[in-house]
Amino acid sequence: MTANYLNFINGEWKSALSGKVTESKNPANKDEVVGTFQDSGQEELDQAVTVANVAFEAWKDLSSVERGNYLLKAADILETRLDDIAEAATKEMGKTLVETKGEVTRSISILRYYALEGMQKIGDVIPSANSKNILYTKRVPLGAVGIISPWNFPIAIPIWKVAPALVYGNTVVLKPASETAITAAKIVEVFAEAGLPKGVLNLVTGRGSVIGEGLIHHKGIKAISFTGSNGVGNQIANGAVARGAKFQLEMGGKNPAIILADADLDRAVTMTVDAAMKHTGQKCTATSRVLVESSVYDEVKERILAKVREIKVGNGFDADTYMGPLASKSQWETVKSYIAKGKEEGATLIHGGNVPEGPEFENGYYMEPTVFDNVTNDMAIAQEEIFGPVIGLIKVENIDEAIELANDIPFGLSASVFTSNLANSMKFIDKIDSGLVKVNGESTGSEPHAPFGGMKESSSGSREQGKSAIEFFTSLKTITITP
């Protein structure tokens, strides 16, 4: 029998007043119900926002060191529940168990990092023109904040938003993606067991059109941190600006990998394919365009094909599975539509593009790793985020053309170059329009203590993770004391 997961409001697990629940199904087997979660309405959201604002008064008065201690406890509890939470995430969104275990491990590190951030400075002393004055700054929390998290990293992204929000003194209303609501409930259980005071962290599940939209316009929410699609991000920005709320948006990417003739081709191909195909391509930092110098283009293409042919698609629990299913039917349909569009636009499909053959794939949202040749930069598959295991190969004459084409898109999240030439590396670093820049490394991946975020339409401009998180989750006071 599947479990019914509840909302968490004011330290209690509660059903939606409507009595309605939604089923969460396994994308590897769409007939398997993982569990049910609450289909909440405005009443539940109002309750959560109200208690978050009440709890804020006492929570902000704790020292940041005390708040950090709760994160340390949560990290220890999460470590004991690593297998359970990883398995839940794999069942809900199809990512391999190896990948979800890695995500839990990363989340533990994030919690411990932000726990220690509670011991760092929250302001500066500034010299005053009046030698008798004391002039300094102090960062203060915002209040109750809304967090809207995506399904592709259902453990790490909620935690890398919740942890800094809490340690800097805010209270939180979390609205997770419906595709991974059960995983989110398990994460909140960890914080509850760590002893967070009532109302400090609240979970409300339900439709984005109700709960997400409600957070955008709720006067009791002082700021919204969102990761997801550009369309929803633009709605959040418009709604937040209209009422003067702070907002933070991390959105799409169309991330290039440039492979130059002087690169270590084995390394370049391995890292490019891994960045494109792991997590079934469902990373905002996944490589989706591969710009290859013409003198090695044919060799790189054959090496990529050889590497892709080795990929085993299967159930995320199979030990030798490299790539699981796509997370949902809608994402599966989206990827299929882009593959069809690529062929219509004149790109040459040289591998994949279909559901894998075999009875084990008939009841899930599987897709073969897919490679297009003869891609031009004006094609939709070169300009638009697919969020699936699809890469397009583009031939370039040199580093300058590669950078020009790499920048000729609306997005600017992540980009990588493979080269042994220092001058080319520095040119790439200086000229690429991306928030995350990799030299001889995958376009994916970031460390918890380093800022994360993009340029252009990939971000609203602020940065997540590392010390940069304090800039969004606090306001700055400037204080002058005259004796």
Side by side, which strands form the sheet with 3-5? 3-5, 29-38, 21-26
* Rounded-to-integer distance, Cα 352 and Cα 111, Å: 39
Catalytic residue of the set 250, 368, 385, 464: 250
255 φ/ψ sector (left φ>0, alpha ψ -120 to 50, else beta): beta
Strands (E), 123-239: 125-126, 134-141, 144-148, 171-175, 201-203, 223-227
* Rounded-to-integer distance, Cα 242 and Cα 276, Å: 38
How many beta carbons lie within 10 A of that of residue 330, not counting itself?
A: 11
* Rounded-to-integer distance, Cα 5 and Cα 280, Å: 27
* Rounded-to-integer distance, Cα 125 and Cα 376, Å: 54
Structure tokens at 465: 């993770």
* Residue 215 DSSP SS3: helix
How many beta carbons lie within 10 A of that of residue 101, not counting itself?
A: 18
**Three state DSSP letters for 346-405:** CCEEEECCCCCCCHHHCCCCCCCCEEEECCCCCCHHHHCCCCCCEEEEEEECCHHHHHHH
Q: Where is 35: in which H helix or E strand?
A: strand 29-38
CA 422 to chain centre: 31
310 catalytic residue (yes or no): no
* Rounded-to-integer distance, Cα 428 and Cα 149, Å: 32
Q: How far, CA to CA in Å, does 191 sit from each of 19, 203, 348?
A: 25, 11, 50
Neighbouring-strand partners of residue 37: 5, 22
* Residue 172 DSSP SS3: strand
* Rounded-to-integer distance, Cα 335 and Cα 277, Å: 13
* Rounded-to-integer distance, Cα 273 and Cα 257, Å: 10
Which residues are tagged catalytic? 250
